[in-house]
Amino acid sequence: MSKLLIVGSIAFDAIETPFGKTDKILGGAATFIGLSASQFNVSSAIVSVIGEDLPQEYLDLLSEKNIDLSGVEVVKGGKTFFWSGKYHNDLNSRDTLITELNVLANFNPVVPSNFKDADVVMLGNLHPSTQLSVIQQMEKRPKLIVLDTMNFWMDSELPALLKVIKEIDVITINDEEARQLTGEYSLVKAAAKIQTMGPAYVVIKKGEHGALLFHDEHVFYAPALPLEEVFDPTGAGDTFAGGFTGYLAETGNISFENLKNAVIHGSNLASFCVEKFGTQRLEDLDKQEINQRLLQFKELTQFDIQLQ
């Protein structure tokens, strides 16, 4: 069975949308990635850090999905990373109300010895130096290294970010971040410039407008599935990353054609994530509803055309 190593935060989130609000609930990039990837036949592990305040039931939820938590450090007396945000009416923009790094501020990831030979590494949105330290701990180069990042690191840690980008195979960022990183408004030009920085593949996420995959001169577009209700977008990008890397780890095929399939699988799982607050929808997903929605993606994107 292929191994997937996931590095990122396990956190508390407090979310407000036009449809309601929550107190502190389970969140964090690694959490969403892990729950999403658990839908595939892979052996996965999370490397993260938490405080003693994280309820055991949250860890049990991840363990029950056969996710190895031996790389999760528990800081005695420490407090878990906390983020609070409020979404605007269109759900495409939000205001961050609170960010408390807590134990994440001094996080030094330690890759479990049994995952130093992982086939696929998914580096969630963290400090670029933290991401690089994980790559350096691997005993052999993974088949695929995927990195997620954000504009905060482009503003504050650009040299470190460019250093880790050189070492990866796939970067996943949103359209605004792609433009900021490259100074190019055209996403085609932006993707081409990012490929010169290191990664062979560039995934540009466009929220409710789907995702673009770039490789050399090739471009693939996956729409987002039109949904009757979008309840909470938190974690959708990480859920996409979990589906993307979980599928690639299971299939072991990292060709451009198979990365297209991975984008669809990631988009499919992300469409479930937004239907409830936090991780709720991902916790009880079953294969039947996942496959039914994959068929909807197929119907949405396939057609016959006759050229005159």
> Within 13 Å of residue 307, how many CA atoms lie on the same side as its CB?
0
Q: What DSSP state is assigned to residue 226?
A: P
Residues in the chain with pLDDT values less than 50:
none
Q: What is the pLDDT of residue 227?
A: 85
> Within 13 Å of residue 66, how many CA atoms lie on the same side as its CB?
11
Angstrom distance (rounded) from CA 264 to CA 297: 8
Angstrom distance (rounded) from CA 4 to CA 146: 11
Q: What is the pLDDT of residue 93?
A: 81
Q: How many CB atoms lie within 10 A of CB 5?
A: 29
* pTM of structure: 0.96
47 touches 72 (CB < 8 A): yes
Q: What is the pLDDT of residue 91?
A: 80
pLDDT digits (tens, 9 = 90+) for 218-271: 999 998 888 888 889 999 999 999 999 999 999 999 999 999 999 999 999 999
259 touches 215 (CB < 8 A): yes
State the residue for tokens 């197929």.
298
Angstrom distance (rounded) from CA 273 to CA 173: 18
Angstrom distance (rounded) from CA 56 to CA 53: 9
